[in-house]
Structure 1
Amino acid sequence: MRGRDEDTGEFLDISRSQNRRDALDVLALGEKLVALTPAQLARVPVPEDLLPHIAEAKRITAHIAHKRQLAFLAKHMRREDDAALDAIRDALDANSETSRREVATMHRVEDWRERLLKDGDKALGALLDEYPHADRQQLRTLVRNAQAEKAKNKPPRAYREIYQLLRTLLLPAALGLDAANLTAADDLDDQDDQHDQDGDDSAED
């Protein structure tokens, strides 16, 4: 049974229908790449010649122009061989699993932070049993500072620092990374956030 092109209303033969489905699949793949953070994109084997087109699609926010750039990216992606596109799909699947583990770990980080604030040294001892390389004195100081902040209704600076410290402690083990890799990934995300902020500031000028 022949399909119908949604845009033109024309009937498509089997080969044209398949080609259109393939093109839409590549377009969807391109959209996934554009949605990745720099740290996530670094884990995907994207051919070097595609990276500028991905960066340009991330930069453009106007709806029509963004859609046009996505189509341009997909056009270039279709020129890559099937093995390259399959490698991208495999890496995105792995990223999805990594994201699930990241979310689960973030929940553990939040739980540990609340335990530390509630139970103090008792919770700290339990944390050190599980992560003996953690800095006892730094954590104890941050916990006390966070408790003081809450009591005096001050900005939760130490509260946020506890989260970052626990994240650096728990996440590498969950993802099979070392702390240096995690820090490098965070730096990439921070640079991207700063780039976005600079772009917003320029638009306001």
Structure 2
Amino acid sequence: MQRVSMENQYDDDLNDQDDDYEEEARGPSKSQLKREKLALQSLAERMASMPRSALERLNLSEDTWVALDETPRIKDHRALGRHWKRIANLLVREDMEAVQALMDGAEAREREANARHHALERWRERMIAEGDSAVNAFVEECPTVDRQQLRTLVRNAQRDAERGKPDAPRKLFRFLRETIEEAED
């Protein structure tokens, strides 16, 4: 009796190993492969929207360059979908680590620019709402600013905001942006 149970245990172990081997041999699921293809297509769209000078560091193949250069000429939505698939298939053959590093750097710069833009919008809205107290707080943050010009722009922006006109608030925003950029340099 004892011998039969040992043989059954051995057979069970072999079956478990066979199941593991079959799963490894099958590879990733269809869903996983589809997610990877869609991610590559999204990457292709982002790359096509980037300036060529940024992409030149990647040492892409000639076929990939040709496909990226064709993108602006394609107007039909369905054709564009096929085009992204074509670029995605070409990207599989490229150095994906370099591509991903470039895209991560571009995304980081974009997040930083968005954060800076939102901070400037908050300053502008605060200055329009609070007036001189917000101007004084900004002057403390950025002492090189022309205080008189800033106050004039704030008063004009407050007046135009009440009237529903966008001109003076836009001028105030541009002035704040230029002031911050000069202070960072």
TM-score range normalised by the length of the shorter chain? 0.5 to 0.7
Alignment of 1:127-138 (within 5 A): 127-138=138-149
Report how many residues are paired: 157
SS class of match (1:133): coil
Shift of 1:136: 2.6
Q: Deviations over 1:3-39 (max 9, x none)?
A: 9xxxxxxxx9649x8xx679725434212323x454x
SS class of match (2:144): coil
Alignment of 1:15-164 (within 5 A): 24=37, 25-34=39-48, 36=49, 38=51, 43=54, 45-47=57-59, 50=64, 53-54=67-68, 56-58=70-72, 60-80=74-94, 82=95, 85-151=96-162, 153=163, 155-164=165-174
TM-score (norm 2): 0.62
User: In 2, are the aligned partners of 1:105 and 1:170 still within 8 Å (CA)?
Assistant: no
* Distance in 2 (alpha carbons) for counterparts of 1:91 and 1:172: 28
Structure 1 counterpart of 2:10? none
* Distance in 2 (alpha carbons) for counterparts of 1:88 and 1:148: 49
Structure 1 residues not aligned, in runs of 5+: 4-11, 179-205
Shift of 1:89: 0.6
Q: Deviations over 1:73-132 (max 9, x none)?
A: 23443443x2xx312211222333333333333332122112211332332222122122
Out of 161, 166, 175, the residue aligned to residue 165 of structure 1 is 175
Of stretches 52-61 and 64-73 in structure 1, the one that deviates more from structure 2 is 52-61
The AA in structure 2 aligned to 1:159 is P
Distance 1:51 1:159, change over 3 A: farther
The AA in structure 1 aligned to 2:168 is A
Identity rate of aligned residues, in percent? 31
TM-score (norm 1): 0.57
The AA in structure 2 aligned to 1:74 is A
Distance 1:70 1:106, change over 3 A: same
The answer to which structure, 1 or 2, has the higher relative contact order (CA under 8 A, 6+ apart) is: 1
Shift of 1:142: 1.6
Distance 1:51 1:171, change over 3 A: farther
The AA in structure 2 aligned to 1:53 is A
Distance 1:101 1:75, change over 3 A: same
The AA in structure 2 aligned to 1:94 is G
* Distance in 1 (alpha carbons) for counterparts of 2:170 and 2:153: 9
Structure 2 residues not aligned, in runs of 5+: 1-21
Structure 1 counterpart of 2:7? none
SS class of match (2:105): helix
Shift of 1:172: 8.4
